[in-house]
Every structure is written in structure tokens, then in C-alpha cells.
Structure 1
Amino acid sequence: MPSLNDPIRIGAIDAKNRIFMAPLTRGRATREHVPTPIMVEYYTQRAGAGVILTEATGISQEGLGWPYAPGIWSDEQVEAWKPVVKAVHESGGRIVCQLWHMGRVVHPSFNDGKAPISSSATTAPDEAHTYEGKQPYAEARALPVDEIPRLLADYDRAARNAIAAGFDGVQIHAANGYLIDQFLRDNTNHRDDRYGGSIENRIRLLTEVTQTVADAIGKDRTGVRLSPNGQIQGVDDSNPDALFGAAAAALSKIGIAFLELREPGPNGTFGKPNHPPVAPVIRQAFDGPLILNSDYDPAAAEAALADGKADAIAFGRPFIANPDLVERIATHAPLQKDVQATWYSQGPEGYIDYPTLTESQAA
């Protein structure tokens, strides 16, 4: 069986190892959602990953409601992403852009006061992070069927822009309670048209977005992220095995390059799931490379590969504090602990100042 340090090919992308960097929102772009030079250094430091999955990146202003998060809908954003991608490539890395529409968790203050869109007229729990501090979420507007072509066009443009910026591919963010997940799961999707009701209908937006992106840039450069297990941001489903098994089978039929799952285990950092793991069901339904994510340490990751549960593992928070995570895993070196207070701050502290193993030993 493969190990974490073995290469893998996912679609058109040759990865030098199976230690992927999971998407991590870090809040270092401008207020206008344009990538900044500091992001060049951050991603280049982590180019040892088999594949970097970028922080969630907005496909449109309508879909982006996180302070200082980057986008990929404008020419200015594309140009600002180019040096990031070029530097990662020059360091021998591969980098994929995660395409994000947040749906009902976009606060109106990000979009000229307009209500966010979702599958149905629902309101997310808790509060939104905004430039003016935390504010209550607003009720979403149910997206009419006649607006779905516009949404698909936004995904098409974002995917083409990512390739124009030099990215090796894209990952469609269909997880974590954001727009596509709001369509997938039955506690937020109350529709009675062809996008609601049955599982076949609820996975329709996911398959249409994925097919649109695959047609735009090639299925061999298109990946998807799902979060099959448990409630997140108020989004949940009564039958996740059936739902996500059907979604995985549909994605397999399209022939995407890879599928990544964020599925916390019984001791997950952000709460326990309320259902047994769905990943084994998805493993049976999906024919392509499967990447697992959430709370893995190196030993558990190696075990997952050895048991055939996954083809690669995406590490999130370990990559924050360990830019040379691949080397540390290979040499069984200790891992540094990240500082949560600087996850979303706007400066170099807690972003590009974590030392490598070599730097620590020289200090």
C-alpha cells in the first residue's frame, strides 16, 4: 500500500506526495478581496505539499462574506493570484484554487445590503463575521430557478480565471454549510421544484456546477469538497449515507479528478459528529482518488492509506504552524502548535513567521 511520501496522480496533476494542504481561510487579502504579496510567501513556504488546496476563494461578490478573503472573479484578482501560483510552481509545488459561494452565510453588508441567496428562505444560526464586527445573519432569499444559469456562469468564469492565473486546477467547495451544501441537505432545502425534495433533485445543483466547471477547464482539473457527516453552520441531513453516496456516484460519473471529504472523527476538534462515518459509503460509490481531511495526525494518516480508506490525506491546521510539514512527517520530527488568535489576523504574525525545522535547530 502507498505511504504519505509516495507520489500520486490526480487527474492531470502529478503530486509528489500524498500530504495535501487543506483549504484554510486566513484573511490576508485586501478589503476588496484582492490577493496580497504576503500570500506569495505563505503559499511558497508550503510548496512541499503534494497539492496545495487554496483558502476558499469567492466566485463573486454575491458569494463572498468573509473579511479579507480573496476572490477570483475580476481581472485584478487574477493578476494578483499569478505571482502566488508562479512562486509555488517555481518551488516545485502544485496548487489548486478552491471556488467558494457562501450562500446564506453572506451578510448583506458585503453585498450592498442585498439579502444572501440559498436553496430556501432560511437563516443561519449564530452571527456573521463582518468588517463592523459580529452581526446576526439575515434571512436568505430562495434562489429562483431562472437565476441558476447566472450562478453557473459565475462558476464558469471563476474556473476559467483560475486557469488563466496559472492554477493546476480548481476544487468546488460543496461542504461546510455553504451554498451547495445548503442545496444538498434536507434541513435547509425546502424546495418543491427540480432542485428540492428527493435526493436526486437535491444533488442537481452540485452536479450542474461540477459539469459546468469540468466543461470549462476539463474534468481532469476539477475536484470537489464535501462534508458528509454531521451538522455544520446549521446545515444537516436526515439520511447522509444515501445523500452523499448518491452525490459521490454522480461525481464519479462526471469523472472528476478527485474528491476530498471533511469528516471529523469521534474526537473532532469542533464537536463530535452525530452519525457514523459516511466516508466508507463514498469510497464504494466514487471511482477516483479520495482524499480525507480533519484531525489527522501522521500516524492516523498512514493508517488510513494502509487500510485503503483514502488515496491521500489533507492536513489543515498542522500546515499553519509547520510550513515544512512534509519534511517533518518524513523525519518524524515534532510538530509546532498553531496560535488560534492569528488565524484570521491581517499581518505576518502567525502567518509567515513559523520557523522550519532547520531554522529551529539553528536558533
Structure 2
Amino acid sequence: MTESPDRHPALEPVSLGSLDLANRLMVAPMTRISATPAGVPTELMADYYAEFASGGFGLVITEGIYPDAAYSQGYLDQPGLVTQEHIDGWRVVTDRVHADGARIVAQLMHAGALSQGNPYRSETLAPSAVEPLGTMMEAYGGSGPWPVPREATSDDIADVVDGFAAAARNAAAAGFDGIEVHAANGYLLDQFVTEYTNQRTDEYGASTANRIRLTAEVVERIVAETPEGFIVGVRVSQTKVNDVVYRWSGGAEDVVVISESLAKAGAHYIHVASEGRSWFETAQLADGSTVTGLAREVSGLPVIANGGMHDRDQAARVLAEGHADFLAIGHVALANPDLPNRLAAGDELAEFDPAMLRPSVTIESSLRWRQAGRAWQ
């Protein structure tokens, strides 16, 4: 073990809404498709999430969880928050995480047009009947082109909001400290925000204010129907799992409209995702400001930055310069579930090996990687 350096600012104890957190470091949501075929969390999933808690992370954000038994499920063996069995399974996970000293929020995700494994429906749903870019993701069990989705009706949209609200209530019953609305990375709510996937001319289309409307309605409804002190965050992004080059055409103006809308709806934080890119690459705006910093300024909400936040110097800069309040770490956390403890001790981090996610992005794949002798020390 190396000599401990000056304490890193990410290690400061801090509050997020009603939650007292051990530090500013969070586990980013990462799809693991390791639930039962019925979407019930397993003991292996409880072990997986508890390891981040014992490793020192202040907050764990789960993988995307489907919120309804209709169009929302994106992948086979994805966990849900729909049935009592789901609630009971997640209760085991939340109890384990809490026992190891961390907080945990459930990310609620409706896949929309990017659904490639849904036993509840044979068709997909989206704001408009636009075929998604690229092809289905093999690591998540898909192959070939995406189907053309069905355009959502007003009744469908109402059902989507109902589903998110019901799942948030279930999350509270399962012992979660809050939820994160997944409005990023190309999934349904982001499909409404994105111009080329949303060709609607009603109140949910055309302007940025209209395209963020559905996400704001989901947030407002969840805040109204969950207990006081229950955290409701929102994850947004420009890039997507099937389009890593997309940027909001309105630039800073879009950041302002989106951030103000989410704050007005009652969100407790905004999480800006990078979808496999570095924060520096995806956060920069034409005027020299950053998406994260501007969102923080105009919303008045805490902001989570994502993308390369395991880099000590970048993490310190993001916090010191006011670009964000919290740092979410994804793939590198898989190789270093004890990353906060390593940071505190001044120890080097193990490098992330893409083999941890092969042949599929399951917890079992990571375990095989560890059993092959490439585990963290």
C-alpha cells in the first residue's frame, strides 16, 4: 500500500436531498441482465451491489429496471419493479447495500424503440415510427436491425407515466432510497427528447420544451406519489447506445430548457451521462461552458458527472471548477468495486478489461474474469 496522499475532494461526506452520503462517488447504472427470466433479482445480484457498498461508494445507482408489464422491458433477464416478487427480490439487495453503509437508488428505464427482448409485447413503442440507427446489441442478446416501432398514442403516453409512477412506489416499498428516471442513452424518454426520433407535432413534439415534457410529467408524478424524503433524479445525455456522435442541436439553449423543466417538475438531481465517452469530450459546449456546469447553474440542482471520473485529476477538476457535485463511475468500478477505498489509501486502480463483459454483459461474465486470475487485489 502506498502512502496516503492529501484527501481527495471526492471523498468528502455530503448530502443529496434527504440522504447523507459517505462521499461524492457513485456507481453509475450498468446493465447486467442477470435477473431471472421473470425479472426477479437474485442473490448473486445482491452480492454484486453489496460489494460496491463495502468498497466505499456513497451511492449505488442500479442498472436500468423495467417499470411496466407492457412495452418497457429492453432485454431478456433484465430486472423489473412490477410484481411483488420483484419488490421482494430488490428488498434483499437494498438491505445488503444499507448494511454495508451505502445508499441505493433504482434506475427506472423504458426501452421504447430500443427494446430487443420483451416477453410482454412483440412490437416496440416510440414517439414516432422511426427505425432506430444501427443494429441490435449482441452483448445484450440481440442481433439484426431494429424493428420499426409503433408511434405512441395519447393513451400509450398516459400508460407510460402510470408505469413509471407505479414502479417508483414499488421501489419505495422495496427499500430504495430513491429512483433515477432514465431519460438518456437513446431509450424511450430520450427518444422523445431527440429530434430525429421524435417527429410529433403535438404537445410532445417539435420544440425542446415539448420534447422534454414527457420526462417532466414522469418526474412530477413520481414526486407526488412517493414518500417525503424519497429522492427522484433524472439521467439525461446527448449520446446514445446506438448513436455516440449525437449532440443537442440547440447547444446551451437546450441545456437550459431541459434543466429548468426538470427542476420545475421537482427533480432532486440531474445526472449527465456520456455513453462510453469521456466527460471532457461530451460535456463541452461551443461557448466554453459545460453541459454539467450549465445544468447545475440554471437548475439549482446537484449534478452528477459521468465519463472518466476514475481519473483522479479530472475528478478533482470537475468538482473544484463547479462542473458537478457528484461523480458516477461505470466500467472502471467493475474492476475496482473498492475504488473509494483505494482512492483514500492512494492505491493504484486495476484497469478495466473489456473481457469482463464478454460474451455477454452479465455478472457471471465478470465472475469468470475474476476466477481466471485477473481479479483486483
CA distance in 2, matches of 1:236, 1:22: 21
Determine the structure 1 residue equivalent to 2:236.
Answer: 226
The answer to whether residue 50 in structure 2 is matched with residue 69 in structure 1 is: no
- 1:67 to partner: Cα distance: 2.9
Is 1:231–1:273's contact at 8 Å kept on the other side of the alignment? no
Alpha-carbon distance between aligned partners in 1 of 2:161 and 2:330, rounded to the nearest angstrom: 29
Letter in 1 for 2:14: I
Q: Confirm or deny: 8 A CA contact 1:225 1:260 kept in the other structure.
A: yes
Where do residues 138-149 of structure 1 align in structure 2 (5 Å cutoff)? 138-149=147-158
2-structure distance, mates of 1:113, 1:299: 46
From 331, 336, 343, the equivalent of 1:322 is: 336
Distance 1:342 1:147, change over 3 A: same
Q: What is the Cα deviation at residue 199 of structure 1?
A: 1.7
- C-alpha distance in 2 between matches for 1:316 and 1:322: 10
Query: Can you list the C-alpha shifts for 1:97-119, whole angstroms capped at 9, x where unaligned?
Result: 00000110113x52455321111
Residue 224 of structure 1 aligns to a residue whose secondary structure is strand
User: Given that residues 292 and 313 in structure 1 are in contact (C-alpha distance below 8 angstroms), is that contact kept between their aligned partners in structure 2?
Assistant: yes
Counterpart residue type for residue 306 of structure 1 = A
Question: Which residue of structure 1 aligns with residue 278 of structure 2?
Answer: 268
2:4 counterpart residue number: none
In the alignment, which residue of structure 1 is the partner of 2:203?
Answer: 194
Structure 2 counterpart of 1:302, which letter? A
What is the CA RMSD across the aligned residues, in angstroms?
Answer: 2.7
CA spacing shift, 1:299–1:37, aligned 2, 3 Å: same
> Are the counterparts in 2 of residues 188 and 236 from structure 1 also a CA contact under 8 Å?
no
- Give the counterpart letter for 2:298 in structure 1: A
Q: How does 1:340-351 map to 2 (within 5 A)?
A: 340-343=354-357, 344-346=360-362, 348-351=364-367
Tell me, yes or no, if the aligned pair for 1:255 and 1:288 is still in contact at 8 Å. no
Give the Cα–Cα distance (whole angstroms) in 1 for the partners of residues 50 and 120 of structure 2: 35
Q: Which residue of 2 aligns with 1:245?
A: 256
Query: Which residue of structure 2 lines up, in the alignment, with residue 34 of structure 1?
Result: 40
Take 1:8 and 1:262, find their aligned partners in 2: how far apart are those partners?
21
Question: TM-score under structure 2 normalisation?
Answer: 0.86
Report if the CA contact (8 A) 1:219-1:255 is conserved.
no
- How much has 1:256 moved relative to structure 2? 2.0
Q: How does 1:99-178 map to 2 (within 5 A)?
A: 99-107=108-116, 110-111=118-119, 114-129=122-137, 133-178=142-187
Native 8 Å contact 2:283 2:292 kept in 1: no
Q: Deviations over 1:180-222 (max 9, x none)?
A: 1111121111101111111221111011011011111157510
**CA distance 1:24–1:212, shift in 2 (3 Å):** same
- Is the 8 Å Cα contact of residues 22 and 52 (structure 1) preserved in structure 2? yes
Is the counterpart of residue 11 in structure 1 residue 21 in structure 2?
Answer: no
Segments of 5+ residues of structure 2 without an aligned counterpart are 1-6
Q: What CA distance in whole angstroms lies between the structure 1 residues aligned with 2:102 and 2:83? A: 25
Contact 1:219 1:257 in 2 (8 A): no
Identity of aligned residues (%): 32
1:20 maps to 2:56: no
Q: Deviations over 1:136-167 (max 9, x none)?
A: 21001111113222111101110001110000
* Residue among 190, 210, 214 paired with 1:205: 214
Deviates more, 1:303-312 or 1:152-161: 303-312
CA drift of 1:3 comes to 1.1
Residues 327 and 211 (structure 1), Cα distance of their counterparts in 2 relative to 1, 3 Å cut: same
The match for 1:90 is: 99
Cα pair 1:5 1:19 within 8 Å, conserved = yes
The Cα of 1:258 is off from its aligned counterpart by 1.3
| Letter of the structure 2 residue corresponding to residue 261 of structure 1 | V
Aligned length: 355
Q: Describe the SS at the equivalent of 2:366.
A: coil
- What residue identity is the alignment partner of 1:350? S
Q: CA deviation at 1:94?
A: 0.4
Q: Which amino acid aligns with 2:45?
A: M
Q: Select which of 303, 306, 310 maps to 1:293.
A: 306
Aligned residue in 2 for 1:284: 297
Partners of 2:146 and 2:376 in 1: CA distance: 43
Deviation at 1:350, TM superposition (A): 1.5
